[in-house]
Amino acid sequence: MDLDLFPLGIAVGAAHCDRDAARKRLADNVQRGRHTWLSARRRMGKTSVIEQVALDLKRRRHRVVTVALDLLVVHDAEALESRLRQAVSEATGQLLPKNRRILDTLKKAFATLKPELVLSDDGVTLKLGSGESPSATVEAALKGLDRIAVERKRRVMFVCDEFQQLATLKDYMALEGAVRHAAERTKHVAFVFAGSERHLLAAMFEDPDRPLYHLCDRMSLDRIGPEHYTSFLLEAGHARWKKPLSGAAIERILAVTLRHPYYVNALCGRLWSARRPPSVADVDAAWVRYVEENKRRVATRVLELSLAQRAMLAAIARQPTPHPAGQEFLRQVRLPASTGLQAKGVLEREDLIQQNEAGVWEPVDPVLAAYLREI
Report pLDDT for 368.
96
Using pLDDT thresholds of 50, 70 and 90, give the confidence band for residue 362. very high
Q: Is the pLDDT of residue 68 over 70?
A: yes
What is the model's pLDDT at position 121? 62
Burial of 157 (0-12, 13-18, 19+ CB in 10 A): buried
pLDDT-derived band of residue 59, with 50, 70 and 90 as boundaries? confident
Average pLDDT over residues 251-277: 97
Cα(252)–Cα(236) distance, integer angstroms: 16
Q: How far apart are CA 329 and CA 309, in angstroms?
A: 14
pLDDT at 98 over 70: no
Choice among 2-6, 144-148, 154-158 with the minimum mean pLDDT: 2-6
Q: Which of 7-11, 60-64, 332-336 has the lowest mean pLDDT?
A: 60-64
Adjacent-strand bridge partners of 68: 159
Domains, the chain, ranges and CATH?
A: 19-221 (3.40.50.300), 226-256+266-293 (no CATH), 296-374 (1.10.10.10)
Rounded alpha-carbon distances, angstroms, from residue 180 to 124, 143, 159, 204, 311: 31, 11, 15, 11, 42
Q: Summarize the confidence of residues 20-46 as an average pLDDT.
A: 94
pLDDT average, residue stretch 263-287:
97
Residue 77: C-alpha distances to residues 39, 90, 133, 200, 324 (Å)? 24, 20, 9, 18, 41
Q: What is the mean pLDDT of the chain?
A: 92
Residues 353 and 324 sit within 8 Å (Cβ to Cβ): yes
The angle, 0 to 180 degrees and rounded to 10, between the axes of the packed helices 307-318 and 337-349 is: 80
pTM: 0.89
Pairing, β 64-70 against β 217-221: unpaired
Provide the pLDDT for residue 106: 86
What does the pLDDT read at residue 101? 66
Q: What gap in Å lies between CA 91 and CA 157, rounded to an integer? A: 9
Question: What is the predicted pLDDT for the residue at 97?
Answer: 73
* Residue 194 banded pLDDT, cuts 50, 70, 90: very high
278-315, pLDDT tens digit by residue?
999 999 999 999 999 999 999 999 999 999 999 999 99
**123 pLDDT more than 70:** no
Please tell me the predicted confidence (pLDDT) of residue 1. Answer: 45
Contacts of 242 (CB under 8 A, 6+ apart): none
Which amino acid, residue 166?
A: L
Mean pLDDT of 231-241: 96
Give the model's pLDDT for residue 262: 96
Is the pLDDT reported for residue 257 higher than 60? yes
pLDDT score of 107: 86
pLDDT single digits (tens) 306-358: 999 999 999 999 999 999 999 999 999 999 999 999 999 999 999 999 999 89
List CB contacts of 374: < 8 A, sequence separation 6 or more: 291
Instruction: Please enumerate in sequence order all residues whose Cβ is within 8 A of that of 142, keeping only pairs 6 or more positions apart, or say none.
Output: 84, 88, 158, 179, 182, 183, 186, 189
